[in-house]
Amino acid sequence: MEGLNKGFKFLCLSKDLDLERTLFGGQSFRWIKSELQNELIYSSVLKNFEGHFKIYSLVQRDENILFRRELESLTAATQGFTKKENIKLEDGNDFEAIRMEKSINIKEEPNIEGDKDLNFLKSYFQLNVDINELFNVWSNADLNFRMKSQNFKGIRVLDQHPVENTFSFICSSNNNISRITLMISKMAKKYGKFIGKFNDVEFFSFPEIQDLAKDVVEDELRELGFGYRAKYIFKSAKFLMNNGGEDFLYNIKKLPYFEAKVELLKLTGVGPKVADCILLMSLGKTEAIPIDCHVWQIVTRDYNFKSKSKSLSSATYLEIFEMFYKIFGVYAGWAQNILFCADLRQFKEKKSKRTLSELELDEIETKKNIDDKVPLENSIIKNEEIEDLENIKMEDAKKENDIISYSVKLEKTIDLANENGEVFDLFSKQREYANKFLESRARYLH
């Protein structure tokens, strides 16, 4: 155990962060769990405050969580070493490298920027939020939460880089966690840069927007098994490139929740649920509540929620949002995430075993049972739905709830258009509706 301790520093108390359920509960898809010296270690590549991709490793002990930053990619010049030698990297530091099975096994990086790494990881895990106090408040407010959450303390919402988070959740359409993880791994390997190899795992940076906006990307992603999502990724990357790149997403962060959501809905493949995931997990909107059929089942079963609709309609989406918000307040998205994790089979039955080899096997099984296309009956946009939206008189939106209702109707239409991107091209109407909504809301607010 002494060797594993080398280079690790204190991050936080274990009671304040559950690594397993936070990292593998469907928020991020790039963390890898492996074993090193008989201890579990969690590793990933993250883009830090300075815009550099670094490999970070975490260990959860009984009392404390430790971290360290691993040595980044050894230069191509080191690939020829066949015996243990000292090499000098560009930063002037000497490191030992040894070639094993055509790759470099890397050592931990000397802690030359420990404070910056610590501050970055504290921000990534939002350790400034007192999750234990929130648990107490939520448990007092809601009996179901108190019953379900006892074994799920320490689950946090991550504050991820918005570019990675956005494209990851564009891949989540009609998908599961294991398959999303494998897709993101393929995309990073195809379009990202090699960062380094640690504990027999190769790590790559997440692709830059411009790399996903090249004309060949859609066809290449289809060849990698992305299906209709290939078009979503390519079109969204193109849109971002034409609208300020990363700044488009960072500017959204400055907007109020509903306005921010409308802006995100301009991206191809982003519907109400995906938009809420991005808002919650990378744009600081703690009130955002991603709602899908799974969440609908939870509220129907545990909260006796009843809706007139037999499907997850725009009205039902809004009703569930309002129900959660009234119970849990401005951090309702965090509370919903805990209830969601508590209902995941993988956390009910056993700890997640996320290795890439197992994910590849899972994808084979998934392909046997899931057709990689949106079912046509779920994709058709009904004429009456379009007419219903077009007949709304924006000048009549005098009250906040009228604006919210319009927002949800707008989101539903955009979501339907996006889900059937192969057949319909309603994105010009999508922009028209979004602009009308923002103009109306501006008049209302002023």
Separation between Cα atoms, residue 19 and residue 23, nearest integer Å? 6
Q: Give CA angle at 333 (329, 118), nearest 5°.
A: 110
Output the pLDDT for position 5: 63
H-run or E-run covering 440: helix 427-445
Are 234 and 209 within 8 A, CB to CB?
Answer: no
Gap between the Cα atoms of 267 and 32, Å rounded: 29
Q: How do the residues of the chain divide into helix, strand and coil, expressed in percent and rounded to 5?
A: 50, 15, 35
Q: Which residue has the higher pLDDT, 369 or 55?
A: 55
pTM comes to 0.72
Higher-pLDDT residue of 57, 309: 57
Q: What per-residue confidence (pLDDT) applies to 260?
A: 95
- The structure tokens 């859609």 sit at 218
Q: Quote the CA–CA distance of 404 and 408 in Å, as a whole number.
A: 6
The whole-number pLDDT of residue 294 equals 86
In angstroms, the CA 409 to CA 326 distance is 21
Task: Specify the pLDDT at position 413.
Answer: 53
pLDDT at 266: 96
Residue 4: pLDDT band with limits 50, 70, 90: low
In terms of pLDDT, which residue wins out, 376 or 226? 226
Chain segment 39-83, per-residue pLDDT in tens? 899 999 999 999 999 999 999 998 999 999 987 543 332 333 333
Identity at 260, one-letter amino acid code: A
What's the pLDDT at 309?
A: 77
Instruction: Tell me how many degrees the CA angle 118-123-126 measures, rounded to the nearest 5.
Output: 120
Question: Can you give the residue ranges of every domain in the chain?
Answer: 8-71+109-369, 376-445
For domain 8-71+109-369, give the CATH superfamily: Hypothetical protein; domain 2 (1.10.340.30)
Confidence of residue 184 (pLDDT cuts 50, 70, 90): very high
pLDDT > 90: what percent of the chain? 53
283-299 pLDDT, tens digit each: 999 999 999 888 988 99
Contacts with 43 (C-beta within 8 Å, 6 or more apart), sequence order: 31, 32, 34, 55, 56, 57, 58, 70, 198, 199, 201, 203
Residue 102 falls in the annotated catalytic set: no
What's residue 138's pLDDT? Answer: 95
pLDDT at 68: 93
- Which pLDDT band, with edges at 50, 70 and 90, does 174 fall under? confident
Sheet holding 9-13, edge to edge: 9-13, 64-69, 53-60, 39-47, 32-36
261 vs 278: CA distance, rounded Å: 9
For the chain, the average pLDDT equals: 76
Instruction: Say which of 33, 238, 266, 273 is annotated catalytic.
Output: 273
**pLDDT-derived band at 374, boundaries 50, 70, 90:** very low
Instruction: Summarize the confidence of residues 337-355 as an average pLDDT.
Output: 69
C-alpha torsion angle, residues 317, 321, 324, 330 (rounded to 10): 160
- More confident: 308 or 8: 8
pLDDT of residue 410: 54
| Distance of alpha carbon 106 from alpha carbon 393, whole angstroms | 62
Q: What is the per-residue pLDDT for 344?
A: 80
* 31 three-class SS: coil
With cut-offs at 50, 70 and 90, classify the pLDDT of residue 199: confident
What 3-state DSSP class applies to 281? helix
The band of 37, judged by pLDDT with boundaries at 50, 70 and 90, is confident
CA-wise closest residue to 28 among 41, 12, 46, 11: 46
pLDDT at 162 over 60: yes
Rg of the Cα atoms in the chain: 23
Residue 293: CB atoms within 10 A of its CB come to: 10
pLDDT at 446 over 70: no
Buried-state track 348-368, b at ≥16 Cβ within 10 A, e below 16 = eeeebebeeeebeebbeebee
**Structure token pair of residue 304:** 């006796």
> Quick check: 152 pLDDT over 80?
yes
pLDDT above 60 (res 1): no
